[in-house]
Amino acid sequence: LQGYVKDYRSLTLYNLNKVFPDDPDYLSGTGLARGAELLLRYGSSLLDLYASYGLADVDVHSNGITYAPRYDRRHTVKAIGTIHIFGGLDGTLRWEYGSGYPFTQSVGTFSQLTLGGIGTDPRPEGSGSLTSALGTKNAARLPAYHRMDAGVAYRVTAGMFRGTVGVSVINIYDAKNILYFNRKTGKTAYMTPFLPTASLTLEF
């Protein structure tokens, strides 16, 4: 079990209050990360078991604005079990959970005009481009991430050669974990779906 506190006195952060072209793109800011991590392990000739839990809380501050950075994950749980079936044959089951990352919500949409020089038509294509109006920086959280993988591997040795033959399945129960959301189209892209794989590794 361990805990930590990290005080960041100088960070380079986006200027969230940028209005005019001459305003800087980046500003100096500060940050504070706090957390704790717990690891449990059990091993025997038949089983190897690992379980871990992480608790974290991170905030950054710049130009009067405080928010959670993009990869601030509050809770993380991992569990791995390996059974040594016989000889060089092992079976592994792995499960992972992570609470949602912060993101900035869309609170509305508007048509943004593209303004050129004097004498040009501010609406060359009609009503302008559709643009999202954003809410408070990283005030909401994405759905939680979770996934289970399983695999079987067999280790062989022949003279100077060592090899491993294995099969595995990623995301056994086909969890829909969000990778990306397109604000303009409303479509969501997801991480790796149910995916069986096979592998062969040789060493000498």
pLDDT given at position 112? 74
pLDDT given at position 183? 84
Pairing of strands 161-170, 129-134: unpaired
pLDDT given at position 131? 83
Q: For every residue of the chain, which 3-state class applies, written as one string?
A: CEEEEEEEEEEEEECCCCCCCCCCCEEEEEEEEEEEEEEEEEECCCEEEEEEEEEEEEEEEECCEEECCCCCCCEEEEEEEEEEEECCEEEEEEEEEECCCEECCEEEEEEECCCCCCCCCCCCCCCCEEEEEECCCCCEECCCEEEEEEEEEEEEEECCEEEEEEEEEECCCCCCCEEEECCCCCCEEECCCCEEEEEEEEEC
Structure confidence by residue, pLDDT tens digits, 57-100: 999 999 889 999 999 999 999 999 999 998 889 999 999 999 99
**Distance in Å from the first CA to the final CA of the chain:** 39
pLDDT given at position 115? 63
Burial of 2 (0-12, 13-18, 19+ CB in 10 A): exposed
> Is a pLDDT exceeding 70 seen at residue 114?
no
Residue pair 17/49 in contact (Cβ under 8 Å)? The answer is no
Average pLDDT, the chain: 91
Evaluate if pTM is beyond 0.85. no
> Is a pLDDT exceeding 80 seen at residue 111?
no
pLDDT given at position 32? 97
* Buried-state track 103-114, b at ≥16 Cβ within 10 A, e below 16: bbeeeeeeeeee
Return d(Cα 69, Cα 62) in angstroms, integer: 12
> Is a pLDDT exceeding 90 seen at residue 149?
yes
Residue pair 184/142 in contact (Cβ under 8 Å)? The answer is no
pLDDT given at position 133? 87
Report how far Cα 54 is from the mean position of its chain's Cα atoms. 15
> Is a pLDDT exceeding 80 seen at residue 117?
no
Structure confidence by residue, pLDDT tens digits, 8-56: 999 999 898 888 889 999 999 999 999 999 999 999 999 999 999 999 9
Return d(Cα 1, Cα 35) in angstroms, integer: 11
pLDDT given at position 173? 97
pLDDT given at position 158? 84
